[in-house]
Structure 1
Amino acid sequence: MSFTSIPILDLELTRDSATKPEFLKQLRHALIEVGFLYLKNVDIPPELFQEVIERGKSFFDIPLEEKNKLDMKNVPSFLGYSGVSAEMTAGEVDRREQIELSTEHPIPAPGSPLYHNFLAPNQWPSEDILPGFREVYTDYMRRMGHVSMYFTSLVAEAIGLPADAFNKYFDTDQQNKLKILKYPSMEPGNVDETQKGQGVGPHKDSMLTSYLLQATQHHGLQVQNMLGEWIDCPPVDGTLVVSIGQSMEALTKGVCVATTHRVLSPAAGTGARFSMPFFQGVRLDADFDELETVGIGAVPEEVRRQRLEVIERNGGRVDDVKFSLRKGAVVNKVGEALLRIRVKAYPEVGERWYPDILMAVRGE
């Protein structure tokens, strides 16, 4: 039988050698059976979480003309602001408003691969409009970078690999990303007849791991189990929701599973849903041949067998979303695959900066 709830793991257990083995056992179960988990005691001050929530919500209250100054279409990095219905998932329009940030980098040198355009400065709101916003989110992304690196080392240990097994897939100045999201409620007169309550459609995260701070008490996040059933993942105080990404699934050759998930729009009268997901990056210049020469061959036979037993027990794997982070005729690097994924998701950015890639993606 497939999972019917999302496990809650306590990171505090890893700080004592007597309790760490129990955490790793729980984590292995979450990795090979669910692909999602709640994580508590992540060693980030509660007051910083509160600042992140309050300043994230306040961003959407600034005048539209100020938000439009940060329009994602301004730059080829996919960093910045996008309004409701600017993003697409699973061929349908997503009903959410957002700003996307990352750990900052200088603009890449001329002649760099196109996917190096991801590495860029952020488009920040004016300090006069949102004082302290940049400082709070820069601090939060820095701290979450440390959390994600520590958690990734635990993933390695949980599946029988050395703690540093994935380090070769990080740059020394690794780029991580963060979104601040607002899902408007489905108020009468505020939606047209074609919209079906898709906050964001069924998808899998692309990066190694992601960490979602659910900032309001709305239900709406759902995870698909191996029987095709949608399992609620409601807010749990004091936790982050951790999702395993396609990069991690690729590196472990399917031992760690990237699970399909979606967000339903809040019902009329319940107000907007806010969330702040942090995405752990992977080295953009890594090629798929590298990914194929490590991973499952190094994972102990016992762990591989456990994953196969999960698949067999559920009669195969049911998925609304196919694996998209893969090598192709014109795709050899991880960054190339991620660029095509982004162009597909944000066609207006694609039209302005990557028209040839957009045409190719549409043709596929």
Structure 2
Amino acid sequence: MSNTFSSVPTIDFSRLQNRETRDEALSQLREAIFVVGFMYLTNTGLEDLIKKAHARLPELFEAPENVKEACNMINSPAFLGYTRLGAETTASKTDFREQFDFATPGMKQWTEQDPIWDRLEGNNQYPDIPGVQDLVEEYMSSVSRLAETFIRYVAESLGLAPTTFDEFAGRMDRLKFVKYPPSPPNSQGVGPHKDSSGFFTFLSQDNIGGLQVLNNAGQWIDVPPVEGSLVVNIQQGFEALTGGVCAATTHRVIAPVAQTRYSIPYFRGIRKDLTLNQLKHSAAHITSRIPTIDHRAKQAVDVPSEFLSPLYSCFGEAHLRNRIMSHPDVGQKWYPELYARFLKQKIEQGA
């Protein structure tokens, strides 16, 4: 059988929850994890919430510039808040999108005694628009519960105890509200990348399209919108925890030409204190308990994982590096020494 793919599979969440259909659904989930790294997740029970959230996005982004700029990410060492069009880069090129970044509320205040990467766990900046904070917190709470359950099904599909990955859960997850305005043909909405902040991403799309994933044959495969679904994909944290056996998949967004595209990605976080040695030990322990490594498993070869690099002391430092290089204005303001160090590394690596 082929070790690549030409479409993204669909996993029915309700079938995972049904005792009579669970075994078949777990087998389908295992196939999606090993061969594709992406899937549509349907029948989650969040369809109405997804619709409600997308209905608010045009109003949010049409707010006056002074309202958006009042919560600009430049104010936040945690990289939370508003990012104006053209202020973020991926694969060393400018992304044609604007966005709001949020995270799990209620994080403890960072102090000088804490590791520097704990500053990533900061407080949200909400725009002064009625109902936005309530919507963000409702959305994050609901998807967080879904993500916790889903990851336990992932463990089961790999032949592991359902709670295998619980100990690696981070304190903070992240959420983005994203707008891709009409742009010149073949513009980069967001460039080729793997999601970097944790376990899995849960993305809700509108009906415009533009998301593509890269298969092992080097072909870009469209991921067209499916109403009410979440597009779920492996992040580099889960890739690292499984030693690359469950590899994240490179993906991108082609910016729309005639219409505005909106999306809402939610990123399930992972512990930032995990060191490289701990990651390698955990990966060896976890993969040794997977009964059979599928011979078609997609390997992590197209984008190296920063979280397996000896350049960084732990997952948190690698994630901070990623944020600093993606948002250089924020990085230079809050982390000037680290920005200079990471920029030097990037130049030396020719990246």
TM-score band, normalised by the shorter chain? over 0.9
The aligned residue for residue 62 of structure 1 is 63
How far apart are residue 291 of structure 1 and its match? 1.3
The aligned residue for residue 113 of structure 1 is 115
Q: Deviations over 1:126-162 (max 9, x none)?
A: 1xxx211111110110111111111111111111111
Contact 2:11 2:40 in 1 (8 A): yes
Q: How does 1:258-269 map to 2 (within 5 A)?
A: 258-267=248-257, 269=258
User: What SS is found at the alignment partner of 1:242?
Assistant: strand
How far apart are residue 353 of structure 1 and its match? 0.7
* Matching residue within 238, 241, 246 for 1:248: 238
Take 1:113 and 1:14, find their aligned partners in 2: how far apart are those partners?
Answer: 39
Specify every segment of 5 or more residues in structure 1 that has no aligned partner in the other structure, as ranges. 188-194
The aligned residue for residue 292 of structure 2 is 303
- Residue 5 to residue 166, structure 1, CA distance change in 2 (3 Å): same
Are 2:266 and 1:278 equivalent residues in the alignment?
A: yes
Normalising to structure 2: TM-score of the pair? Answer: 0.93
How far apart are residue 286 of structure 1 and its match? 1.9
How far apart are residue 57 of structure 1 and its match? 2.4
Letter in 2 for 1:353: W
Letter in 2 for 1:136: L
User: What SS is found at the alignment partner of 2:306?
Assistant: coil
Take 2:221 and 2:140, find their aligned partners in 1: how far apart are those partners?
Answer: 29
Are 2:100 and 1:99 equivalent residues in the alignment?
A: yes
Contact 1:31 1:255 in 2 (8 A): no
Q: How does 1:164-243 map to 2 (within 5 A)?
A: 164-171=163-170, 174-186=171-183, 197-206=187-196, 207-215=198-206, 217-243=207-233
Letter in 2 for 1:263: V
Letter in 1 for 2:244: G
Specify every segment of 5 or more residues in structure 2 that has no aligned partner in the other structure, as ranges. 346-351
* Matching residue within 330, 339, 356 for 2:320: 339
Take 1:81 and 1:322, find their aligned partners in 2: how far apart are those partners?
Answer: 29
Take 1:6 and 1:257, find their aligned partners in 2: how far apart are those partners?
Answer: 15
- Residue 67 to residue 317, structure 1, CA distance change in 2 (3 Å): closer
Take 1:47 and 1:340, find their aligned partners in 2: how far apart are those partners?
Answer: 36
Take 2:218 and 2:342, find their aligned partners in 1: how far apart are those partners?
Answer: 27
Contact 2:159 2:290 in 1 (8 A): no
The aligned residue for residue 131 of structure 2 is 132
The aligned residue for residue 28 of structure 2 is 26
User: What SS is found at the alignment partner of 1:294?
Assistant: helix
Take 1:246 and 1:351, find their aligned partners in 2: how far apart are those partners?
Answer: 25
Take 2:153 and 2:246, find their aligned partners in 1: how far apart are those partners?
Answer: 12
Take 2:335 and 2:328, find their aligned partners in 1: how far apart are those partners?
Answer: 9
Contact 2:103 2:124 in 1 (8 A): yes
User: What SS is found at the alignment partner of 1:256?
Assistant: coil
Take 1:362 and 1:199, find their aligned partners in 2: how far apart are those partners?
Answer: 23
Take 1:164 and 1:302, find their aligned partners in 2: how far apart are those partners?
Answer: 17
- Give me the identity figure in percent: 36
User: What SS is found at the alignment partner of 2:143?
Assistant: helix
Letter in 2 for 1:150: T
- Residue 63 to residue 30, structure 1, CA distance change in 2 (3 Å): same
Take 2:180 and 2:296, find their aligned partners in 1: how far apart are those partners?
Answer: 38
Letter in 2 for 1:351: Q
Q: How does 1:138-153 map to 2 (within 5 A)?
A: 138-153=137-152
- Residue 115 to residue 310, structure 1, CA distance change in 2 (3 Å): closer
Normalising to structure 1: TM-score of the pair? Answer: 0.90
The aligned residue for residue 192 of structure 1 is none
Q: Deviations over 1:89-134 (max 9, x none)?
A: 00100010000000021321232111111111100111xxx21111
